[in-house]
Amino acid sequence: MKHGSSTKGPSVTTVPAGVKTGLDVLVDDEMRALKGQRVALLGHPASVDRRLTHLLDACVAHGVTLVRLFGPEHGILGDAQDMAHVEGSRDARTGVPVVSLYGPTRESLFLQARDLDGVDVLVCDLQDIGSRYYTFAYTIAFAMRAAAQAGVKCVVLDRPNPIGGALVEGGDVDARFSSFVGEYPLAMRTGLTLGELARLFADVDGHGGALEVVWMQGWHRALPFSSTGLPWVLPSPNMPTVDTALVYPGGCLYEGTNLSEGRGTTRPFELVGAPYIDDPAAFAAKATAQGVPGCTLRPCFFRPTFQKHAGKLCGGVQVHVVDPLAFRPVRASVAILHAARTFAGFDWRRETYEFVSDRLAIDLLFGSDAQRLLLERGASVDDVMASMSAGAARYQPLRARFLHAAYAGPAGEAGAR
């Protein structure tokens, strides 16, 4: 979606048979559930149906009364980079006010009950990517709190977890390290859809009665995104492909270091390196020796065009996933961090990160300082991963309570561990 866009969707008349998202279900019913209601939307560029018609365009086409638009991190247009503040605005075509939920302070992240004055229904449609750090889920959690306080119905339109809903990896969040990359005690790879996460958030926060999830049709936990028949629209500037989403549960850890995580290249989170890594082959060999199932670490050089080390030649590796079912992104990235620490020049990120300045970013991302301390002591990747086992064990029964039964598929929850 962009300001001034046509109310008509793309000229696609047929689509592959396959999964229907929550938005598809709503559109196929001609949005009757929203007729006669004053509606606010929380969306971004990936809020499209299977014909690539945006949620806003679909609402306009079906005569839904829109009174407010909300945009998460990166903005409702998806043009802002990570941690870039976004100002409020007004949609040029509809005249509807746009409220930013990612401004210069942590307080700006929280949708306020007063922002829902004159609203009957808040519709949330954000493509999640299955990782605890991805902030869109928390924006919806905070919006749900405001909706409950304001007595406004909150409708979450479910979408596939693009990296599957069966596998879980990594520990949960120690309350001392809660932040906008870990607001709830989730594993690093959640194994949940956004609708399931919304149910978990509502239960933890005690306002489940205000939530309605429009569930998908035809999706199950082990279904690859490539088999859904759905288009992929990048939900944020550095999430261009489903391949990116697959490495992200580990790749986001690089944000807590002075390694480039590949922002400013065409393969963010798959490329990782820095100018001080002068021997990429040795770097790859050291990481591989720690055990990186399901992937090959290819030594390489790259030159980011922006963000960390912009314009500088970086030695590093590209993570090539060769077996998605065997691949463990958190383990692979811990192995890469283990290897990177052997190069002079490596350091943890020490600047403010997601509005937090009194704890290291890497600790916020891990959800604990235990993993960093182990790495600093030279512990093996096996030991670092073992340090997260208790958190993973706590998360599994919490997750199990919110699995949507219709998503079990023919194999049920087989392979969920």
Q: Based on the domain organization, do 249 and 381 belong to the same domain?
A: yes
Give yes or no for residue 1 having a pLDDT over 50: no
269-283 pLDDT tens trace:
999 999 999 999 999
Q: Is residue 30 part of a domain?
A: yes
How confident is the model at residue 331, as a pLDDT?
98
Residue 194 confidence (pLDDT): 97
312 φψ region: left (φ > 0), alpha (ψ -120 to 50), beta (else): beta
Q: Does residue 295 sit in the same domain as residue 334?
A: yes
Q: Per the structure, how many domains does the chain have?
A: 2
Predicted confidence at residue 412, as pLDDT, reads 52
Q: Does residue 261 share a domain with residue 193?
A: no
What mean pLDDT value characterizes the chain?
A: 91
Answer yes or no: is pLDDT of 386 > 70.
yes
* Domain assignment present for 412: no
134 and 26 together in one domain: yes
Same domain, 40 and 185: yes
| Residues 46, 111 within the same domain | yes
Evaluate whether residue 174 is within a structural domain.
yes
pLDDT per residue over 26-58, tens digit each?
999 999 999 999 999 999 999 999 999 999 999
CATH of the domain at 64: 3.40.50.12170
Characterize the bridge pairing of strands 295-302 and 38-43. Answer: unpaired
Residue 93: pLDDT band by 50, 70, 90 thresholds? confident
Measuring CA to CA, how many Å separate 249 from each of 83, 159, 245, 327? Answer: 18, 18, 8, 11
The answer to whether 218 touches 20, Cβ cutoff 8 Å, is: yes
- For residue 214, what are the β-bridge partners? 157
Residues 170 and 82 in one domain: yes
Give the domain-ending residue among 197, 227, 257.
Answer: 227
Question: What does pTM read for this prediction?
Answer: 0.91
Asked if residue 128 and residue 263 are part of one domain, the reply reads no
Say whether both 168 and 260 belong to one domain: no
Q: From CA 125, how far away is CA 158, in angstroms rounded?
A: 7
Q: Are residues 178 and 311 in the same domain?
A: no
Q: Which residues of 166-202 are buried (b: 16+ CB within 10 A; e: fewer)?
A: bbbbbbbbbeebbbbbbbbbbbbbbbbbbbbbbbbbb
pLDDT exceeds cutoff 90 at 319: yes
* Domain contains 127: yes
Q: Which residues pair with 157 in a beta bridge?
A: 214
pLDDT of amino acid 75: 61
- Among 123, 162, 118, which Cα is nearest to 140's? 123
**In this structure, is residue 88 part of a structural domain?**
yes
- Nearest residue to 319 via CA among 349, 348, 293: 293
Strand partners, 295: 321
Domain that holds residue 86: 22-227
Cα 413 to chain center, whole Å? 22
Please state, in angstroms and rounded to a whole number, the distance separating the CA atoms of residues 297 and 315.
13
Residues 99 and 136 in one domain: yes
Is 237 part of a structural domain of the chain?
no
Q: What are the backbone angles phi and psi of residue 201, rounded to the nearest 5°? A: -60, -45
How much is the pLDDT for 351?
Answer: 96
- Residues ≥6 apart with Cβ < 8 Å to 205: 141, 144, 145, 148
The domain boundary residue, chosen from 202, 227, 252: 227
302 found inside a domain: yes
For residues 13 and 189, the model is more confident at: 189
The enclosing domain of 287 has a CATH number of 3.90.1150.140
Give me the pLDDT at residue 11, please: 40
Q: pLDDT above 70 covers what percent of the chain?
A: 90
Among 270, 304, 250, which residue's Cα sits nearest to residue 81?
Answer: 304
Sheet containing 65-71: which strands, arranged edge to edge?
A: 89-90, 97-100, 65-71, 38-43, 121-125, 153-157, 211-214
Residue 411 — pLDDT band, cuts 50, 70, 90?
low
Q: Are residues 214 and 119 in the same domain?
A: yes
DSSP 399-416: HHTT--GGGS-TTTTTT-
What pLDDT score does 74 carry? Answer: 61
Letter string b/e over residues 106-121, b meaning 16 or more CB atoms within 10 A of that residue's CB: eebbbbbeebbeebbb
Question: Domain end: 199, 227, 255, which one?
Answer: 227
In the beta sheet, which residues pair with residue 42? 70, 124
77 found inside a domain? yes
